[in-house]
Structure 1
Amino acid sequence: MYKRDKKGRFIKGSKGSVATYFKKLNNHPLYRPIGSEQIDERGAVRVKVAERKWRPKHILVWEKYHGPLKSNELIMCLDGNKQNCDISNLEKVSYSEHYRMNERNLLSTNPQLTMANLNKLRLEDAVKGKKKGRV
């Protein structure tokens, strides 16, 4: 074993009985290869893109078709199912739009109804923007 001093620190130059104390990750039972998927604590699917780096699948699917997101944008699942990552179920919204959709209870399990509510919200924003410009 490694020798320690009275404070519990390792003594320099002491040798352990084990040749390598830390083993490689791919022998570990929780190791996942790159490209594997898992469901996180919120119910969303995450994909391993590099060692110790996971990204949400719905964002990867969106970026595949439409390119990267800006810092103030997020991807919303229209039917509310975070595991349904079909491109027809995804919509890019701003943080303020997503907040107001939640605040007004405009989200639905019906994707057409959710999209209609989002378009209504965007129309209200456009009308308010025109009124501000006139005054």
Structure 2
Amino acid sequence: MKNRRKYIMFLMLTGILSLLTGCESNSNLGKEISAAVGNTAMGVAIVFFILIFLSFFISLFRFIPMIQEKLQRKQKETQGEKEGVIEKTSVFEEENMVDDLELVAVITAAIAAAEGTRPDQYIVRSIRKVRRRK
């Protein structure tokens, strides 16, 4: 068994050497081994080439958000030009003030805090919901 392994290793080495030096072996087994070594080297080279190509392709993914941002800016500019021609009409719906007492209190307190005054100086007469498109 050990002699057979040594013989196979010897044939593989002679195949590699014959491939590298360009010498042709007289035995059919030597030709087959040299062809197998050549096929193996070609396969490994192809795999590494594909891996390098994929890593380069994946590294280009960092540019995708920049391209999307430019496209969105162009879309917004074209929409802005179209909307500049068309007038917008907005419809406000009056809501029931009885249900919004807590909301009125919060808004009054926020305005008073921002202005640095007392909340009892402000009177909220109406609350309207503004609808904005995003």
For normalisation by structure 1, the TM-score amounts to 0.23
- The structure richer in strand per residue is 1
- The structure richer in helix per residue is 2
Structure showing greater radius of gyration is 2
For normalisation by structure 2, the TM-score amounts to 0.23
